[in-house]
Structure 1
Amino acid sequence: MDFTLTEEQDAIVEVATQVLGGTVTHERLKELERSGGDRFLPDVWQELAKANLLGIALPEAHGGTGFGILEACLVLREIGRTCAPVPYLACVVGAAMPIGAFGTPDQQARWLPGVVDGSTILTAALSEAGSYSSPTAPTTTATPDGAGGYRISGEKWHVAALDRAARVLVPASTPDGGVVLALVDPAADGVRTEALLTTASTPEWLLVLDGVAVDADDVLGGDTPAGAEALAWTIDRCVVATCALQAGVCRQALDLTARYTSERHQFGVPIATFQAVAHRAADAYTDALGVETTMLQAAWRLAEGLPADDEVHIAKFWAAEGGQRMIHGCQHLHGGIGVDTDYPLHRCFRWSKELELTFGGATEHLRRLGATLA
């Protein structure tokens, strides 16, 4: 496979690097963490919008640039590299892209322009307790309520940006065995939320729905509701987007490790010259490369409309297994400074551990990959 990026993709990476590198610094993140304030940088979100990176995978008719999941993953990789606290995955990949692919013209016109210009944040509630063994069969229920509407009941876990989202994309199972994707108002009657404590302190919530009324206009697809196929489409892209974040985190951790082992001296020479250190660093580099290349392969196949079930599972296995092995190696090579919160590696470690289990860990994806081959 040729991993060479096109000129347009190179330009996307360059713009994302400029936007994020200039606004998301270690000192700024450290100040944000110590303040205990809102883990969201609105100015960074607006800069992403001005650069049209929020609309990179959304239809041109609504202000986007019409690219796809591969280009979105290139942006996410840079977000992971800077550990930027912005809900790009949840908003763009989890909610806006499904609306662009399966929403009615009215739904697209209502929500996508605001996402593109940064004025509207959407999110997706795709996780349930112990759900990844059957992600396309949610236990949350949608009971018909007349005129194409539904009553939604159930619990969704780890919902990002719920405190600022205008709508939440909620998959739910119908009595006839089908699936609908509903755009739920977080302020609607019957909605309860609870902030969660996460490994990387990313802002996530428990979403409890108790007979929440959803009109036909807020059912994705309208009169022809998007079903299990649309949910699988969405989850596949969110899984690969998670791998893209992990690839960026690995890049940053590896860069920090290369710099540290080159500058740290023992016995009058850089510790990078010691064979054991070089071997550990080489293993970390190999794992980081595995995370990135499997992510790119899965994203490319999804973007091209090719069968990608195996590649998605392989990418997430590498992001989980290779990612945690790589980040532990970087911590090992740093010694005690690696856990010092004045130094940026701790941030990579915490986010990598969180991403390891997001949308299923290594064992779950290996089990599902094995089932496709059995």
Structure 2
Amino acid sequence: MDFTRDESQDAIAEVVVSLLERNSARDFELWPRLVDSGLLAVPLPEKLGGAGMGLAEVSVLLTELATDAVAVPALPTLGFGVVPLLAALPDEPAERVFGAVADGAVLTAALSEQAAPFTVEPETSAVTEGGSVVLTGRKVAVPYAAEARWLLIPTDAGVALVEADTPGLELTPSPASGGNPEATVRLTGVTIPAAQLLALPLPVLHRAAVATIGSVADGLLRGALALTAEHVRVRHQFGRPLAQFQAVAQQIADLYVVSRTVGAAAQSANWALAQDDSSPEHLERIDDDLEVLAYTVASELPAAMQKCHHLHGGLGVDITHPMHRYYSQAKDLARWLGGASFRLDRLGARCTST
């Protein structure tokens, strides 16, 4: 295996860095500039005007955005939406959906139900009635649900592609650490065409979501570590830079180790998932890597962010300081994954079964 970025991935990283250097916005105001840059078309099929790239390039894009803690719907649109849909969307809706994404439409996925993060047995029902499918159920912690044009809804009969303005779809905003839009989604007799109940296996959706969450976690911790290291370099206490105190240097070293660990786990999982290999042995390796990644992010990322906050002192508590964006987004990622205990149970069950 080789995690070295190729020329295409380097070019994507350079475009993201250039975009952030030219624009001061780090929230939804940046989204139109991201659209204009063509970055949202990176994974879209060439026949629809995209670049025809895949998960590896999307991973680089998400990591670079997260390095500056950019709060835009790139993760749900590309990681939860476009990447898993590439091999599952029929031609007619593909033209509508992917064409709209290139123009800035937001996609998202409802991965969790109440007390069931990344649920593998959805209670949301899908009942076929002639040429239509009727959906009933409730999803929680759906990012950018109110801003999305389409939502991917896992059901007991497959993953449904639902337009946001479909009658019977009700959104209730829910609080999130970072203040990014999130909602509970209720479906009461939501009717969609049968063609929008997709032949998309739920594990495919979950794999793409966990892998891209890992990419964002990698970028967040890289950015927070750089911010913290610069702070302790220039901040003086008792006439010396904070970085010269042994306890501070040791904590920065610990953060570096955690950052490299999260980065290695994310790169390994994304590399494995991006390979064109559907053999049972390779899928087993992918799922192993993703469980390790999910646990590492859920357990290590929030603790590392807390240490970065601590090293910033009182300055880190100020919500106008950039550190707040990193910490709050990290907490949301860990919550979406279900938390450290949930992920440890999943990882342990996988170890005992093999």
TM-score class, shorter-chain normalisation, is over 0.9
Q: CA deviation at 1:252?
A: 1.5
Would you say the 8 A contact 2:233–2:241 is kept in 1?
yes
Q: CA separation in 2, counterparts of 1:14 and 1:366?
A: 36
Hey, what does 2:242 align to over in structure 1? 271
Hey, what does 2:76 align to over in structure 1? 90
Q: Which runs of 5+ in 1 are unaligned?
A: 30-38, 174-178, 221-225
Q: 1:261-289 CA distances to partner (integer Å, 9 max, x unpaired)?
A: 11111232211011111000000111111
2:90 is matched with which residue: 104, 108, 128?
A: 104
SS of residue paired to 1:211: strand
Q: Which amino acid aligns with 1:105?
A: D
Q: CA separation in 2, counterparts of 1:111 and 1:49?
A: 15
1:324 is matched with which residue: 302, 308, 312?
A: 302
Hey, what does 2:20 align to over in structure 1? 20
Q: CA separation in 2, counterparts of 1:185 and 1:117?
A: 16
| 1:171 lines up with 2:157 in the alignment | no
| 1:151 lines up with 2:151 in the alignment | no
Q: CA deviation at 1:5?
A: 1.1
Hey, what does 2:115 align to over in structure 1? 130
Hey, what does 2:232 align to over in structure 1? 261
SS of residue paired to 2:243: helix
Q: CA separation in 2, counterparts of 1:161 and 1:94?
A: 12
Q: Which amino acid aligns with 2:165?
A: A
Hey, what does 2:346 align to over in structure 1? 368
Hey, what does 2:54 align to over in structure 1? 68
Give the CA RMSD over aligned residues: 1.7
Q: Which amino acid aligns with 1:270?
A: P
Q: CA deviation at 1:129?
A: 1.1
Would you say the 8 A contact 2:43–2:54 is kept in 1?
yes
Q: TM-score, normalised by structure 1?
A: 0.88
1:139 is matched with which residue: 120, 123, 128?
A: 123
Q: CA separation in 1, counterparts of 2:309 and 2:147?
A: 34
Q: 1:19-59 CA distances to partner (integer Å, 9 max, x unpaired)?
A: 13432x3xx45xxxxxxxxx622xx2233233322122222
Distance 1:68 1:356, change over 3 A: same
Q: Which amino acid aligns with 1:252?
A: G
Hey, what does 2:311 align to over in structure 1? 333
Q: Which amino acid aligns with 2:189?
A: G
Q: CA separation in 2, counterparts of 1:280 and 1:99?
A: 42
Q: Which amino acid aligns with 1:370?
A: G
Q: TM-score, normalised by structure 2?
A: 0.92
Would you say the 8 A contact 1:246–1:319 is kept in 2?
yes
SS of residue paired to 2:72: coil
SS of residue paired to 1:101: coil
Q: CA separation in 2, counterparts of 1:292 and 1:191?
A: 38
Would you say the 8 A contact 1:242–1:358 is kept in 2?
no
Q: CA deviation at 1:253?
A: 1.0
Q: CA separation in 2, counterparts of 1:158 and 1:19?
A: 29
Q: CA separation in 1, counterparts of 2:327 and 2:129?
A: 46
Hey, what does 1:315 align to over in structure 2? 293
Would you say the 8 A contact 2:84–2:208 is kept in 1?
no
Would you say the 8 A contact 1:20–1:78 is kept in 2?
no
SS of residue paired to 1:126: coil
| 1:48 lines up with 2:26 in the alignment | no
Would you say the 8 A contact 2:144–2:180 is kept in 1?
no
Q: Which amino acid aligns with 1:40?
A: F
Would you say the 8 A contact 1:93–1:234 is kept in 2?
no
| 1:285 lines up with 2:260 in the alignment | no
Hey, what does 1:2 align to over in structure 2? 2
SS of residue paired to 2:41: coil
